[in-house]
Each structure stands twice: as C-alpha cells, then as structure tokens.
Structure 1
Amino acid sequence: MYRGLEIGRINNLALNDGRDSIVASASIEPAFSDMLNQGTLFLLEEAKVSLTGVENLSNLLTGNFLTLVPGEGPQTRDFIAIQQEELDRVQAKSVSLRLLADNSYGLEPGVNVLYRGIPVGNLSSVELVDDQVAMDIAIDVEYKHLIRSQNRFFVTGSATAELTEAGLNVTVPPAKQLLTGSISFVSEGQQTERAEFPLFQTKALAELAKHNQTGSMTMKLFAAELPPIKKGSPLLYRNMEVGSIADYELTDGGVYISVSIDNKYKHLVTKQTVFWNRSGVEVEASLSGINVKAAPLKTLIDGGIAFDNLPGIENKTGSNWKLYSDFNSARKFGQSITLFTTATDQAINKGMAIKYQGVKVGEVMLTLPDFDKDRVEIVARILPEYVKQLTNTGTYYWMVKPEIGLNGVKNLGAIVSQYIAVEPGKGEPSKTFDLHDFAKVDNGIQFILQSENRGSIKPGTPILYRDIEVGRVTMVELGPFADRVVSTIEVDPNYAYLVRANSVFWNASGLNVQFGLSGANIKAGTVDSLLRGGITFSTPEGNQLQPQAKAGQTFYLNKEGDASWKEWRTAIPAP
C-alpha cells in the first residue's frame, strides 16, 4: 500500500535457508518501480487487539499489509519489513532506551511510557538477557530533553495505598492503565547520552534509589534477628523521618541491615549514636504504673528503626553499628568489657554483680572457657553512667570473697552472694582487664620468694609481721628452669621498711605434725593462719641494723620457722 492505494501484492511466502525468518516475494506495479531503492522502507501494518481497544480493525478481515515508505538511493530488490517502532527510530522520531529489571511485571510491548501522566513513548520489546529482563522503550524525539543522568523508571498502572501520618492515601490510575499497565519515570540530573536504566517495581523503590544515588549516607547495622521491617521502612530521629531501610541480608550469627540517611541529616550520626528497633508498641511496667509508648502510625505498619545519641552505650559490633531490640534495652545496656581470670578457683556465674564500694555498676553476662590458655573469659557490661570511669587502663577488678579469721568475718555480704569489686583507673580507654583474686595494694613494694614447692601458698595469701597483715602474695609460678617455685609478694608501702636485706621468711600456714618415738609433735600457727594460710617474716637481731631491702630482692621461703626466729625483737624505726 502507498497512501491508501494498492500498488502490489505478495506472491509467495517461504522460510529462508536457516529457517529463522520468512522470505516474501512480491510484485509491484511498474508505475511505482522507481521507488524501489535502498532508502525505501516497508512498514508491516498489523491488527492489534488488547484490553484497551483494537488497532487496524480492518486487518482482522482483510489481513495484514505492508506500507511503502519512499526513500532515496540506488535501485534494489531486497528489503526488510519493519514495525512502527523501528520506523520511528530510523526516521529519528524516537530515542531508544533499555530498562533492566528482575521481573517483567506483566508488561507487554505497546504499553505507554508516561511522564507526569502524559504518554511520551512506548515499550518496544521484552526479552530475557542473561539473568535479567531487558525492556526496550522508544521515547518520542520531542521529549528527548527528559532523558537525564539520574532518571528513575518505575512500573505504574495498579492501585497503590500508602499509610502516612495523615491517614491512608489510595491512588487509582485511569482505567486504561489499570488494564494494561504502564511505565513512568522521574526526570532528574544532567542531559545525558545514557541508554540504560534500571526499572523499579514501585515508585517507593524508585524514591529509595534516589537516596542511594547522591543524596544519602549508607550505614550497616547488625542484629541477632531481623526486626519487623521491610525495604523502605522509615529511619527515625526523635520521631522525625530522616532516612529509610535500604536492604537486609543474612550473615553468620545474625542479620545485616543497610540504612540510608539523607545527607542533610548525616550530622546527627556521631560516635555516641545508638540504633534500636522502633516497630510496634513499647510497654514498661514498674511500681509506679505501666508506661505505654506507641510508635508513629506508619511505623506500626511498616516497621522502622530509630536512633539518637546516648553516651556510655556500646554501639558497635566489630565495624558495624549495633541494633538493639528496643529503646529500654539500648538505654540500660552500657559498655561490654572482657575479664580474664588469674586464678583457678574463681567461680563466676552469669548475673554476678560488679560493685564499687557496695554500689552495683555492672554485671556478668557470659562466661567462656579458654582451654588453650587455661583460663576463663568473662563478658560483662558496665552500666552507662559508669562507663567513663571504669573502662580505662589501670582499672582494677577483683573477686570479693568472705574472709573468716580470728578477728571476725570480712566481706560478710560475699557469704550470701559473691561479687566482683572494681577500683577506677585513669589511663586510656580499654575493654579487656584481668580479674584478680585480691584487692589492689596501692604502690605496693614487690619482693620475690623462692621455695622447693608451692605448699598452701596461692595468690591472696597474707604476708604477716608479728601476726599483723602487711601484704599479700600476688602470683605463684614455676621458676624458669622448673626447679623451684617463685612467689611474688607485695608489701604495703607503710610496712615496706620492715623488710630488711637479711630478713627471713617462712610458711606459717596450717599444721606441722611430726611423729617420733616419744610421740607426736604438733606445731600450729594462729587460728587466722590456720584458716587463711600465711607467710611470716622477721629480721635477725644484731649489732647493726641491715639496710631496707630493695624492691625486687629475692628471699628464700622456709618451709617452717625456727623457734628462735619468733623470739627476735629487732628494733626497726619507722622512716
């Protein structure tokens, strides 16, 4: 056909040699043979029946036909029939773009491409390329200026409902779009020759992509389990939406959640920022009553995550932000620390309190045996208001145990429930500490005792001078050649002058029973030393008092004391 006139007829149809296309033979009226040149195009006119109507209705009765579009160039007899979309492209009446998606979303060739509800093009083809769906669209050349670098294409044509603070917004498109679907887009960015764009399933996902392009900062959170959220759920700061949930994925031991926050709000994220789940209703019961706090309406439906700056709260798991299950859990958690036992008889239980001068400042959360290093690893938390004072190098933690002696009972509260005591330090921030078996001796002077065997000596064993406690054992270990036991002791600075260069040390712990022909000889220390053990020292009498022992000096620890040593009355003036 040419301008409505029949100028020829198809004579024969056959498959080509490769059987992948149809070859048609036609005869053209001689009066129109001068139009058969290389620039001439043959347009295939087909009847199209869809839910929106019928195109070329007469073709249903007469069949499809070819329309001749004259061109210029040398004479030829071979042509390829094309469809309207290809003709528009060849004649520069449209610009071709490719959209990539994970699904076809039920779209078929011919559906409209809309800009603000106005048709500006149509979908040419839908095909599977590798593992993606590729859709070719043709934008009318008069709308070419709408093709920009940050365009976002999305599927429209179905009714949508969005729950906002103002209520439920329901959007219903025109009937034609409801039946066939359509593609809409947002035009943003610079003029570009870009020919490929992603296609989003909804406008909400397209808006989320806007944040990921230029206008947001992305952060990764870690949670033990996925809270009731979805992609696009709000990110809140004091109930104000400042971003959204971008994605989430499973990982070893939990879930990674990616959130994006608008650049204009990114200054709200600091080193003290804490994230928590803001979905649902929070109920807090106390003696004063029940406090119910409900999230915003949209968050109740879609879920959400909130954040704020809370000093003293642990907010990282490795390099990722930590997500708490709710605000109360975040507010009360504080900072986790790790303690390592230094003695084999330290019985630590989950929930054991950490106290400073009788005030609870933390608790034990978890105990893990470290078989390789023959110790126990203790994970504890310090309450938020005490983190700054109790998580520094120099902070001293020790087990408090009841001490029963001749003078009465010390640490009576530990009889009912043992606890860990702490003394604040003043160094750099730290998260790992040793758990000692005895209280700290400020500026204690250290000395070394050597003996053939350990006996009843252990860390915490008191050092006695005339039955007065002046120090304690801090460490017991084998010597470098395993031929002796080396004990480190600390003597209170107020009593360090009593240790002279020639002082003698002996073990005063327990009972010493010797049997002979004349019977049994029983030697015992004080009741206190029987109960707690102890090491005693004294200084020999002489014409001249020996100088004070230097820190680190080594002494021999005798198994027992000679009777004469206990009778020495050497005068040692206080400095």
Structure 2
Amino acid sequence: MQLENLSALVNGAIAFDSPADSHVASQNDEYHLYEDLAHSQRGVVVTLDLPDGDGLKAGSTPLMYQGLEVGQLSKLNLNPGGKVTGEMTVDPSVVTLLREKTLIQMKKPKLSLDNPSISTLLTGNTFELVPGEGEPRNHFSVMPADKALLDEPNVATVTLSAPESYGIDGGQPLVLHGVKVGQVLERKLTAKGVTFQVAIDPEYRDLIHGDSKFVVNSRLDVKVGLDGVQVLGASASEWVNGGIRVIPGEKGKMQSSYPLYANLEKAQENSLSEVPTTTLSLSAETLPDVQAGSVVLYRKFAVGEIIAVKPAQGCIRYRSAYQAGVPLPVDQQQRLLGGRRCEGQA
C-alpha cells in the first residue's frame, strides 16, 4: 500500500513543474499525467548511503522540505557486506539546496504531544532535507534523525549506566528544568546492566558539571514508606515522550560517564539499588520480633525501617535505613533492639 500525505490522501492532489525556459500554456493544451516524479523523468537523481532499509520502500518513501514533498526514494540496493544504498529522485526546484553541508535525515513516525500529526503515522518513514552551504553535491550519507545532534559542531556526548533500561531508548529527550537540552542516541545491553549514549546540545553543554545527576523521567513512581504511599508522576508531555531529567549540579567539569538513577530519591541517596541505602547496622543476641520492613521508632516517632536481618557469629545483625536529618544516639540504637553489638564491631 502506498500512502501520500494526509491531505492528499483525503482530498487528492496533482503537482506540476514549470521550467523557466518552457512556453506559456495555451487554452486547451494537453499534458500527460505521470504516476509520480520519477516516472516523469524530470527529477534529479541523487545517491544515498543508508543506515538500513527498515521502513523504506522504493517508489513510496518521500523526501520532505518545510512540510512539502520534494522528492521520492526510487531505488533500494542491498550490497555485499549488508550495506544498504539507494537512489532518490529530487524535484528540480530544490536541486540548488543540495550542497556539501546539506543533510538528509531519516525520520521514523512517532506520535507525541509536540508532534500530534496522525499523517506522520500513515506515511511511515520519511526523509527530511536540511539545507546547508558549500559546493553542489549529489551523494549523501543518511543519518537517523535521532542522531542528528552528532552533526552539530562542539556537541558533547556522555555515557550513562543503569542496572536496567527503565523504558529509556534512543530518540528520547534529555531535559533540564523542562527544556530539551539533548537526546538519547542509543541503548546497549551489557553484562552488568544497560548503557546509554547521550548527546548534549552545544548551546547547553556548559550547564552540565561533574556533580550533575541524571534521573529517569519517563515513568510513574510509587513509593511506600514510613509516611504512607506517595505517587510521583511526570507531566503529560513527559509521560508520552519519556526521556531523562538532568539535575545540573555546580562543581567540576563534565565527565565522560555518569550513573542513571531510577528516581529523584535514588539520586539524592547516590544509590542505584532498589533497596534503601543502609545508614546503620545493629545487632542482638536473640531475634526480637522484627523482620525486613519493620519500622524503627525513636520516642514513638518513625525514623527508619529494617532493610535486612542476617545471622552473624554470636548474634543477629540488622541493617537499617533512617530518614535523613534524624540522628539517633548510640545508646538508643542498642536499646531499640534490646541487645548488644557483635564481637569485633566498633
């Protein structure tokens, strides 16, 4: 099935080209109606190196410029070694835009609040013409639009690592104070977890510091804690677009790699684990009526919870997490469990 843009799909349309040296049409002149630009043999052919052939179709995939179709993919070739190349027929009216620094980007359909057009989903993959300067050119290496930032001078790239993907993938935005400052280029699975390559717009690279933190911005967080249940959700656009949020920091130069935290709380704790950070270890000779998840009280006020209970030589050892800003005296720590510290502990 071949689809044009949505308005042409609904209303139908005919495009025409009038060369500067052609004669003025007279009344009742007849013209041949061609199936497309390629069949008219009036277009200019350019050759393409393509990242892959996924979602592309000769005779269908359009070249767009300022919302108008100015060309069409006319041929696809699979070469030895798996390299994909192609040919595109371009409207003569935009041939002067094909220069050394001109870019042709491949865009995949994606519905978002920033681009709610249903027509993008109907037309499938498209090529986007981004004019540049330089000498005329008729061969282009096509790059996915998700990696378009790499063509910008002075762009910064960093690697983020996390124990899981958190739903983050290539093409999602990097956001600082609600403003897009970069983009996720790609996601890779490793033996230790997942890594992400992120590009930062040259205009905003000075806002990223050595103590900056990167936090997942694409999911609903439900926290069950001492003060009840908290449901933390992103804005509507962040729900749809996903991405990563930046906590800018203040000190140091930009690093080449950073951890990616699951939420703001984990970023504040500098923890990549799903388990709360241990702030205190306690011990007792016998096992009181406590278990992982039990609340820790100080003067009847909940200040933490038991993370784990483990046997140790001569005693039972407990690992606890306390709320920030609530100090607990040593004598109260021991009296809380009614026991003593294991031998060898400070």
Relative to the length of structure 1, the TM-score reads 0.38
Match of 2:151 in 1: 213
Change (3 A) 1:259 1:384: farther
Match of 1:116 in 2: 66
Match of 1:480 in 2: none
Change (3 A) 1:234 1:140: closer
SS of the residue corresponding to residue 330 of structure 1 reads helix
Structure 2 Cα separation of the partners of residues 163 and 54 of structure 1: 33
Q: How far off is 1:364 after superposition? A: 11
Match of 1:146 in 2: 97
> 8 Å contact 2:216–2:260 — kept in the other structure?
yes
Match of 1:164 in 2: 113
Change (3 A) 1:141 1:384: farther
Q: Which structure's CA Rg is the greater one?
A: 1
**More relative contact order, 1 or 2 (CA 8 Å, 6+ apart):** 2
Match of 2:290 in 1: none
> 8 Å contact 2:189–2:195 — kept in the other structure?
yes
- Structure 1 position 304 matched with structure 2 position 227: no
Which of 326, 339, 343 does residue 416 from structure 1 map onto? 339
- Structure 1 position 282 matched with structure 2 position 205: no
- Structure 1 position 137 matched with structure 2 position 76: no
Q: How far off is 1:285 after superposition? A: 4.5
SS of the residue corresponding to residue 165 of structure 2 reads coil
Superposed, 1:61-140 pairs within 5 Å as: 85=41, 94=44, 96-103=46-53, 105-109=55-59, 113-130=63-80, 131-140=82-91
The residue identity in structure 2 corresponding to 1:260 is A
**Between Structure 1 and Structure 2, how many residues are aligned?**
267
RMSD of equivalent CA atoms: 4.8
Match of 2:263 in 1: 326
The residue identity in structure 2 corresponding to 1:329 is K
Change (3 A) 1:197 1:258: same
Q: Provide structure 2 residue ranges, at least 5 long, that are not aligned to the other structure.
A: 1-32, 283-302, 309-318
SS of the residue corresponding to residue 98 of structure 1 reads strand
> 8 Å contact 2:215–2:245 — kept in the other structure?
yes
Structure 1 Cα separation of the partners of residues 265 and 60 of structure 2: 55
Superposed, 1:152-551 pairs within 5 Å as: 152-154=104-106, 162-164=111-113, 169-172=116-119, 178=123, 183-199=126-142, 205-206=144-145, 208-214=146-152, 216-286=155-225, 288-309=227-248, 320-333=257-270, 351=278, 353=280, 416-418=339-341
Q: In the TM superposition, what whole-angstrom CA distance separates every residue of 1:187-217 from its partner, at most 9, and x where no partner exists?
A: 23322444433446xxxx52x3321211632
Q: In the TM superposition, what whole-angstrom CA distance separates every residue of 1:357-413 from its partner, at most 9, and x where no partner exists?
A: xxx9xx999xxxxxxxxxxxxxx9x99999xxxxxxxxxxxxx9x9xxxxxxxx989
Match of 1:545 in 2: none
**Once the two structures are aligned, what percentage of the paired residues are identical?**
21
Q: How far off is 1:94 after superposition? A: 3.0
> 8 Å contact 1:145–1:191 — kept in the other structure?
no
Q: In the TM superposition, what whole-angstrom CA distance separates every residue of 1:155-205 from its partner, at most 9, and x where no partner exists?
A: 68xxx553227xx712427xxx95xx78542223322444433446xxxx5
> 8 Å contact 2:61–2:127 — kept in the other structure?
no
Structure 2 Cα separation of the partners of residues 242 and 220 of structure 1: 15
Q: How far off is 1:323 after superposition? A: 1.2
SS of the residue corresponding to residue 170 of structure 1 reads coil
Q: How far off is 1:53 after superposition? A: 7.4
SS of the residue corresponding to residue 138 of structure 1 reads strand
Match of 2:11 in 1: none
Q: How far off is 1:265 after superposition? A: 1.7
Change (3 A) 1:196 1:303: same
Q: How far off is 1:223 after superposition? A: 0.6
Structure 1 Cα separation of the partners of residues 322 and 203 of structure 2: 33
Structure 2 Cα separation of the partners of residues 161 and 412 of structure 1: 59
Change (3 A) 1:277 1:251: same
Structure 2 Cα separation of the partners of residues 261 and 183 of structure 1: 25
Match of 1:76 in 2: none
Q: Provide structure 1 residue ranges, at least 5 long, that are not aligned to the other structure.
A: 1-51, 56-82, 336-349, 366-379, 387-399, 403-410, 421-436, 440-575
SS of the residue corresponding to residue 416 of structure 1 reads coil
The residue identity in structure 2 corresponding to 1:151 is L
Q: In the TM superposition, what whole-angstrom CA distance separates every residue of 1:52-75 from its partner, at most 9, and x where no partner exists?
A: 9769xxxxxxxxxxxxxxxxxxxx
> 8 Å contact 2:96–2:136 — kept in the other structure?
no
The residue identity in structure 2 corresponding to 1:127 is N
Change (3 A) 1:305 1:127: same
Structure 1 Cα separation of the partners of residues 54 and 79 of structure 2: 12
Q: How far off is 1:121 after superposition? A: 4.0
Structure 2 Cα separation of the partners of residues 210 and 254 of structure 1: 26
The residue identity in structure 1 corresponding to 2:66 is R
Change (3 A) 1:240 1:153: closer
Change (3 A) 1:306 1:417: farther
Match of 1:340 in 2: none
Q: How far off is 1:321 after superposition? A: 0.8
SS of the residue corresponding to residue 150 of structure 2 reads helix
The residue identity in structure 2 corresponding to 1:188 is P
Structure 2 Cα separation of the partners of residues 122 and 242 of structure 1: 32
The residue identity in structure 2 corresponding to 1:103 is G
> 8 Å contact 1:217–1:261 — kept in the other structure?
yes
> 8 Å contact 1:310–1:331 — kept in the other structure?
no
> 8 Å contact 1:104–1:133 — kept in the other structure?
no
Structure 1 Cα separation of the partners of residues 171 and 76 of structure 2: 28
Q: Which has the higher strand share?
A: 1
Change (3 A) 1:151 1:332: same
> 8 Å contact 1:223–1:322 — kept in the other structure?
yes
Change (3 A) 1:417 1:127: farther
Structure 1 Cα separation of the partners of residues 60 and 269 of structure 2: 59
Relative to the length of structure 2, the TM-score reads 0.59
Structure 1 Cα separation of the partners of residues 224 and 238 of structure 2: 23
